[in-house]
Amino acid sequence: MVQNDHERLHFSQSQHLELNNRLTAIRERIAKTAESAGRNPEDIRLIAVTKTASPVLAEHLLTLGIQDMAENRWQVAREKLVHPFAARVRWHFIGPLQSNKIKSIASAFSVVHALEDAEHAEQFEQILTSLGKHMEAFVQVNVSGEPQKHGVHPENLHLLLQKLQNYKFLRVVGLMTMAPLTRDYIEIRRTFRGLANLLGEERERLSWGNLQYLSMGMSNDYELAIAEGATHLRIGRQLVSLEDTPEGGESR
């Protein structure tokens, strides 16, 4: 990933102020949207997606009170995780999973959002058992059924959840989705509602209290996600793309 040397070495007072302003604006929008949806803003967790941000920016986010941060690639995450501040962050892995990275992810992260495969889940459970470490997981669902998208098909969700239900160290706490790439907010909202409905159905079918959270909503659509019950927002660009930060990485 391209990184701006100036930014890596130095974070100016004006950048800190801008970051603070953005964070305040996002928090206010979350609170407002939650209230107009009749929800308690405290039930909504803001996760800062730092995949395009420098370690110094991430460290400033921590000083501004952000405790949850997300990365989508192990190689990029590793550069941040070596910094001392990283030990005080609750790290979420939101990228697609590969077998050869699961051991590293299980050791370094607290939460995984894009579980979609029973074999990966089994690998996590085995590694976590040997580490004696608990980890939370979201199962990613391809609600809109687009062919190229990650996530389990809604028809296969129940079977997958049944397989994961008795794990001791990997604790499935909810479902995750990404909205289709469209400006059609009705379609986006339909996707979020679809995930919320699936969560409700599976909670009944499995009578499984652990399963309670919805990881959905990004920079462009988090208000729609809140209206449909999101509990975990994954926000990147709107928070971390400061004026002179290069637009690195792929955001979706």
Ligand X SMILES: *Cc1c(COP(=O)(O)O)cnc(C)c1O
Footprint on this chain of ligand X (rule: CB under 6 A): 49, 51, 72, 94, 178, 218-220, 234-238, 251-252
Q: Rounded to 5 degrees, what are φ and ψ at 93?
A: -100, 115
Is-contact 105 74, C-beta < 8 A?
yes
Helix or strand or coil: residue 41? helix
Reported in sequence order, the residue ranges of the chain that DSSP labels E, i.e. its strands, are 45-49, 68-71, 90-93, 111-115, 135-140, 170-176, 213-215, 232-235
**In the complex, residue closest to ligand X by CB:** 236
- Which CB sits closer to ligand X, 33 or 219? 219
At its nearest, how many Å lie between ligand X and the CB of residue 73?
Answer: 9
Smallest gap from Cβ 70 to ligand X, in A, equals: 7
Report the residue number, 70 or 198, with the smaller CB distance to ligand X: 70
Which is closer to ligand X, CB of 20 or CB of 238? 238
Nearer to ligand X, 49 or 77 (CB): 49
Min dist CB 46 to ligand X, Å, is 11
- Report the nearest approach of ligand X to the CB of residue 251 (Å): 4
Burial class for 120, CB neighbours closer than 10 Å (0-12, 13-18, 19+): buried
SS3 104: helix
Residue 74 identity = W
Q: Which is nearer to ligand X, 194 or 206 (CB)?
A: 194
Pairing, β 135-140 against β 111-115: parallel
CB of 54 vs ligand X, minimal distance in Å: 15
